[in-house]
């Protein structure tokens, strides 16, 4: 009977993890370039005292949906969206990071930066300087940046052999770990556009309700099992 309780609790813990992921997806429905996630589960077998196998469940990872979100036109000069599987290279105090969030601006030093003021790097690994005297910058589909003074650099666009291995580090940035970035052939930069989140709101709400119902149903079973155990102890005490 205790095995049944442990198995039920392992399932509840897995469902709590799934609810956390779903809630995070819903919270980021309107976050630029956010990628939805799904929990991965596996069966975990344990030998019992009577020589049988007890089947537990555990979450062993998270699968990120790396598909593109819908593109929306903003008309803002320094908004950019990436069409394709590329990432922009960002210079941070912790080393190079990678992002698809294209809400850019110019910092006090005149560099093209992210919302957190981290410089966007060009193909040579240097920040892109936008001289305000040069007028409105133009960003071509290959990432080349220019203004009235001429070419200013080209946004470095890279991709990775395994996008699932990229580690989110906050504010739309990813760390590559041991992976070496490769040129993102075919990725286009669209000036005046942003990539929306790829979260499907209705689908996530439906998933949340399904998991909640399963969680509550399992809780009722555990409560019933606990009540049976309590009654059994009370009866044994009377017989004793």
- Edge-to-edge, what's the strand order for the sheet holding 167-170? 167-170, 173-175, 95-99, 87-92, 157-159, 182-183
- pTM (predicted TM-score): 0.84
Reported as a pLDDT band with limits 50, 70 and 90, residue 53 is confident
Q: How confident is the model at residue 1 (pLDDT cuts 50, 70, 90)?
A: very low
Flag the least confident range among 88-92, 134-138, 174-178, 194-198.
Answer: 134-138
Grade residue 10 by pLDDT with cuts at 50, 70 and 90: confident
Let me know: does 154 contact 145? Beta carbons within 8 Å.
yes
Which residues, listed in sequence order, are joined to residue 95 by a DSSP beta bridge?
92
pLDDT on residue 202: 95
Alpha carbon distances (Å) from 164 to 43, 61, 102, 111, 217: 22, 10, 21, 30, 33
In whole angstroms, give the CA distance from residue 66 to residue 127: 27
């Amino acid at each position: 009977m205790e095995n049944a309780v442990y198995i039920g609790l392992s399932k509840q813990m897995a469902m709590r993890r799934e609810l956390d992921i779903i809630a995070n997806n819903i919270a980021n429905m309107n976050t630029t370039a956010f990628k939805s996630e799904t929990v991965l589960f596996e069966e975990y077998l344990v030998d019992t005292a009577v020589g049988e196998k007890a089947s537990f469940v555990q979450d062993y990872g998270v699968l990120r949906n790396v598909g593109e979100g819908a593109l929306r036109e903003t008309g803002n000069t320094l908004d950019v969206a990436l069409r394709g599987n590329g990432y922009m290279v960002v210079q941070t105090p912790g080393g190079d990071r990678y992002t698809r969030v294209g809400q850019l601006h110019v910092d006090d030093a005149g560099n093209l930066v992210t919302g957190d003021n981290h410089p966007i790097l060009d193909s040579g690994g240097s920040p892109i300087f936008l001289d305000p005297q040069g007028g409105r910058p133009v960003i071509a589909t290959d990432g080349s940046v220019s203004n009235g003074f001429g070419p200013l650099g080209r946004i470095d666009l890279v991709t990775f052999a395994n996008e699932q291995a990229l580690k989110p580090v906050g504010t739309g940035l990813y760390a590559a770990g041991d992976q070496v970035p490769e040129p993102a052939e075919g990725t286009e930069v669209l000036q005046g556009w942003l990539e929306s989140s790829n979260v499907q709101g209705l689908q996530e709400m439906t998933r949340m309700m399904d998991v909640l119902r399963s969680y509550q149903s399992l809780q009722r079973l555990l409560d019933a099992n606990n009540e049976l155990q309590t009654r059994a102890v009370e009866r044994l005490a009377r017989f004793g």
